Amino acid sequence: MSVLFWAGVFIVFIIVEIITVQLVSIWLAVGAFVTMIVTYFKNDISFTVQLFLFIIVSSLLLAITFPLIKKHRRKGYIPTNSELNEGKQAVVIEEINTAKGTGRATLEGVDWKAVSDSIIPADSIVRVISVDGAKLIVELMEDNIYEC
């Protein structure tokens, strides 16, 4: 009976893995498979020992492989649109004055709300420090020369 139970658990985890395709349950499937094999050859093992074996094998596999998977996932990192705008230059079209709540800038033809630690007059060239939602956080460029 225990072998059939672990075979069923193994199949359930494989089906979940196939459905999700994100390495959610592969470690649990291998743990269930190893427990099924050990239970097949050693019938007299209690269910508590079987459960302990399942947890140990699954945890060990997760601990060994997770850092490797995490390392490889970061290789294919693609920045979002807001991150692509950081460091670019924009033109101030309305004076940026955080105290008054004013400030607009144009970045690549798109009109953005802009904020800064200092007051920046219209027609100035600014560098985008970061993007917060639909708002550019900018700083005045010293040379005030627009570079394409």
Confidence band, pLDDT 50/70/90 cuts, at residue 147: low
Q: Which domains does the chain have, with CATH numbers?
A: 2-75 (no CATH), 81-140 (2.40.50.140)
pLDDT digits (tens, 9 = 90+) for 81-135: 667 788 889 999 999 998 888 999 999 888 999 999 999 999 899 999 988 888 8
Mean pLDDT of the chain: 87
pLDDT at 82: 67
113: nearest Cα among 125, 128, 102: 102
Residue 8 has pLDDT above 90, yes or no: yes
Decide which of 75 and 102 is more confident: 102
SS (H, E, C) the chain: CHHHHHHHHHHHHHHHHHHHCCCCCHHHHHHHHHHHHHHHHCCCCCHHHHHHHHHHHHHHHHHHHHHHHHHHHHHCCCCCHHHHHCCCEEEEEEEEECCCCEEEEEECCEEEEEECCCCECCCCEEEEEEEECCEEEEEECCCCCCCC
Provide the whole-model pTM: 0.51
